Amino acid sequence: MVTSLDGAVAAGGRGSQGLSTPADRELFRSVRRAADVVLVGAGTARDENYRGVRPRRPGPDGADPGPPPPVAVVTGSAALDPAAPLFTDTTTAPIVLTTAAAPAARRAALAAAGAEVVALADLAPGTLLAELGRRGLREVLCEGGPTLLGALVAADAIDELRLTLVPVLAGGPAGRIAGGPDAVPLRRMELVGQLAAPDGTLLLHYRRATRPPNE
């Protein structure tokens, strides 16, 4: 996730891309390389015009890096455009995680566009992660947005956070990286890596804390 110094997650009408810097984009690509699946909320997929993950380059030894991870989109409405790059500009079939309450015609249109459409009992984080795990997709990279990330925080399902702090003040109405209707207990994280880029971008890497507080 990327944020301005004053906590905005979107800027300039371009979502996170209005904030991102070269160092953030480099990190974004490298984290994607290690993921089994990219999990994203439908709001972000729509606003940021998501497309499939680009094929990975062979390693220095020429080893085949395998196919790129699929993008799995969480949507209650299944209101995604079958002509969007998510379906047309990808080498790996996207996964649409929805429920049987989503209109059947929309689900059928997304399946016809090449997606694997999965009607789950609900879209609670535990259900989503269990479904991905069932497919052998255990290294889950959630790229937001705030609604989905907030649900994962509430479910205490975040093991790591890559947070990019961009040296700008954005003001305005943009929200923060995770939101939700209800207060949740604080989830303690510990800093395990940090890098300052020459332009002042701060790349922060946190993991779920293992030490008790105040130690």
Ligand X SMILES: NC(=O)c1ccc[n+]([C@@H]2O[C@H](COP(=O)([O-])OP(=O)(O)OC[C@H]3O[C@@H](n4cnc5c(N)ncnc54)[C@H](OP(=O)(O)O)[C@@H]3O)[C@@H](O)[C@H]2O)c1
Could you list the residues that contact ligand X (CB under 6 A)? 1-3, 9-10, 15-16, 40-44, 47-48, 74-77, 79, 123, 143-148, 151
Distances (CA, A) of 155 to 38, 40, 170, 187: 18, 16, 29, 10
Instruction: Give min distance, CB of 207 to ligand X, in A.
Output: 18
Long-range contacts of the stretch 185-192 (C-beta < 8 A, 24+): 187/153, 187/156, 187/158, 188/213, 189/158, 189/161
Nearest residue (CB) to ligand X, 5 versus 58: 5
In the complex, what is the shortest distance from the CB of residue 12 to ligand X, in angstroms, rounded to a whole number? 11
CB–CB of 21/201 below 8 Å? yes
Cβ distance to ligand X smaller for residue 58 or 200: 200
Q: Which is nearer to ligand X, 65 or 104 (CB)?
A: 104
Pick 114 or 179: Cβ nearer ligand X: 179
Cα-based distances in Å from 70 to 21, 65, 97, 164 = 24, 14, 12, 23
Shortest Å distance, C-beta 66 to ligand X: 26
CB of 214 to ligand X, least distance (A): 30
